[in-house]
Chain A
Amino acid sequence: MEKILQVKDLELSFNTQGGEVKAIRGVNFDLYKGETLAIVGESGSGKSVTTKSIMRLLPESSAEFKSGEILFGGRDLTKLSDKEMQKIRGKEISMIFQDPMTSLNPTMPIGRQLTEPLLKHQKISTSEAKKVAIDLLRLVGMPKPELRMKQYPHQFSGGQRQRIVIAISLACNPKILIADEPTTALDVTIQAQILELMKDLQKKIDTSIIFITHDLGVVANVADRVAVMYGGKIVEIGTVDEIFYNPQHPYTWGLLSSMPSLDTEDAKLYAIPGTPPDLLDPPKGDAFALRSEYALKIDMEQNPPFFKISDTHSAATWLLHPDAPQVEPPLTVIERMKKFPGSRYYEGGAV
């Protein structure tokens, strides 16, 4: 498969009055053509910062690339000038934000907001751009697009606004679409529509999507591959089946067991104790060790490297080291593993 984007050893810090916040501490991943990669993690884990650094949307006054590179089309995005970046943003890589209310300009009819990227990035006339814009609105399922072009954002519902934002982001057929919690502000029924729409459109134009969310249900729905982030690092990455049915990192275990499934009985919900690490002064070893009942002594001292479970699946935990003791994951996770061929709890049958 063709790699469309490579993030290599990315380290990024914010210089604040309180000191240096190490928001991203060595992130590596590839994005393949036409796939959806979901990045999950709690607030402060660095998932939004990672994608904003790809788009170079972070304030240059405080955010600083420490090391690493972001390779896109043979170029390192961290080194491009603002001018060069403007040619990529909205054309080759575009972004959908969480809040459809604030990501549209309230004083501009949506038609003008739709044609803006077209006129900026492509050599076409205003009337042609309008035609393309109307087609885009039709593509995202907006009824009466000709009429709607003249209307303002407040005349649309939340779900419709998110459709418009999606239409704008797709205007120039981007190679990469970054969706930062695109459905978090929406109701479940609307969320389901938007997710279906995004999957349909992806098939039509073969875009790669980076999908950021903290909702594991949404991840299971949209993702081909999943990266789990914690404390500014990716701690586990694999295909959606590998992460949900054969997770290896204790943090992934915690995440999966703290969500009640619709058939969880009255048993107490598993809650990850404590709070996320302070990245002003990140812990020395495994950032999750202090909250983990599976922490080994070495976790407190040394950062675990990535251990390979399969060609597509790896996790950064000392538990996978050949010398580590064998531990029992939480019960809900064992239940999941029973469905996965290749896991040590596999009980036969297909996933």
Chain B
Amino acid sequence: MAEKLLEIKNLKQYFNIGKANEVRAVDDISFDIYKGETLGLVGESGCGKSTTGRSIIRLYDATDGDVFYEGENVHGKKSKQELKKFNRKMQMIFQDPYASLNQRMKVMDIIAEGIDIHGLAKNPAERKKMVYDLLETVGLNKEHANRYPHEFSGGQRQRLGIARALAVDPDFIIADEPISALDVSIQAQVVNLLKELQEEKGLTFLFIAHDLSMVKYISDRIGVMYFGKLVELAPAEELYNNPLHPYTQSLLSAIPLPDPNYERNRVRKSYDPAVHNYTKADDVRMREISPGHFVQCSERELESIKAASATN
């Protein structure tokens, strides 16, 4: 098995704790991310997938639980110096390429911000060269460095976001719906770029999205979230061919495919959480059904799920 880069253990992220409107956005989830892989995280809006990403990179202080990056805890009390170290290794690409770039900064300064903070360039000439190289890496050119974000199209802006994330030479990138705001023809360009970069630099990705066909295409493994919980985690191919949790099945049956014939014969499944009939006595947690394929279930359900898995 590949080396673990990140371990997320019993991560909880609650908002408005103790108030009437307490939200358990992320409710006790655990998973690992291996070096060099792409882990996809899917689920409906409000299921906690973005919050998970943001808690991992410490944009939020976790309510409870730990995130270990190469064995070191990201959360807990940290000095500025220690936080900087994590910031260099972990970077994020955001969904909205319009809101995530400072309108008043030139591309040069947007991309070089990380380089400056971490003191990666010895002199202005080197700084400039680094930015030019980054622009080239993401398929733009050095003339773009002196422009402002509003002069770029959505796809180009997302490339700028990627260049900014790459500036500090990270190992791990969280991509939070990086393509949902883009047109179909541009989505493919950005996805191809991310894949190329991964191969070149050996990057590890956490890819958060709700477009399931794109997630399957880019991910090695996929986790499915529902109401703050991880309900299924499996290799991408396995998850699509053999979904075991009823919520995953319902989610997969809802994706419309560009194939009219398939669409005419589609049978949609709906998911009702009441089918589980969980009581307080049930120990509901992730259980391994087959190697690498985890499903959230109770002891009682385990046998039937295993049987279903075997027949598929």
Contacts and interface: CB of A to CB of B under 8 A. Distances in A.
A220 B256 contact: yes
Interface residues of B, number: 38
Given A188-B212, A254-B185, A351-B261, A260 B217 contact: yes
B255 interface: yes
A271 B185 contact: yes
A190 B255 CA distance: 11
A43 B266 CA distance: 29
Contact of B263 (A187, A220, A262): A220
A269 interface: yes
A83 interface: no
Contacts of A188: 44, 210, 212, 251, 254-256
A339 B259 CA distance: 11
A261 B254 CA distance: 14
Contacts of A276: 183
B153 interface: yes
Contact of A271 (B45, B192, B217, B262): B192
A42 interface: yes
A256 interface: yes
Contact of B250 (A158, A189, A221): A189
Contacts of A216: 184, 258
27 contacts: A43-B183, A158-B45, A188-B210, A196-B268, A215-B184, A216-B258, A217-B213, A217-B257, A217-B258, A217-B263, A220-B257, A220-B260, A241-B260, A241-B261, A254-B185, A255-B184, A255-B185, A260-B216, A261-B213, A262-B213, A269-B191, A269-B192, A269-B217, A270-B188, A271-B188, A272-B185, A273-B189
Contact of B213 (A244, A256, A259, A351): A259
A308 to B, nearest CB: 21
Interface residues of A, number: 43
B268 A187 contact: no
A288 to B, nearest CB: 11
Interface in B250-303: 250-251, 253-263, 266, 268, 270-271
Contacts of A339: 261
B14 interface: no
Contacts, number: 111
B261 to A, nearest CB: 6
Interface of A: 42-43, 158, 187-192, 195-196, 214-221, 223, 240-241, 244-245, 254-256, 258-262, 264, 268-273, 275-276, 339, 351
Nearest to A336: B259
B155 interface: yes
Contacts of B266: 221
A189 B184 contact: no
Given A191-B256, A220-B258, A245-B260, 4 more contacts: A42-B183, A192-B256, A262-B240, A269-B191
A272 B184 CA distance: 9
A192 B268 contact: yes
Contacts of B261: 241, 339, 351
Contacts of A270: 188
Contacts of A262: 213, 216, 240, 255, 257
Given A192-B268, A262-B240, A275-B153, A217 B214 contact: no
B259 A244 contact: yes
A254 B186 CA distance: 11
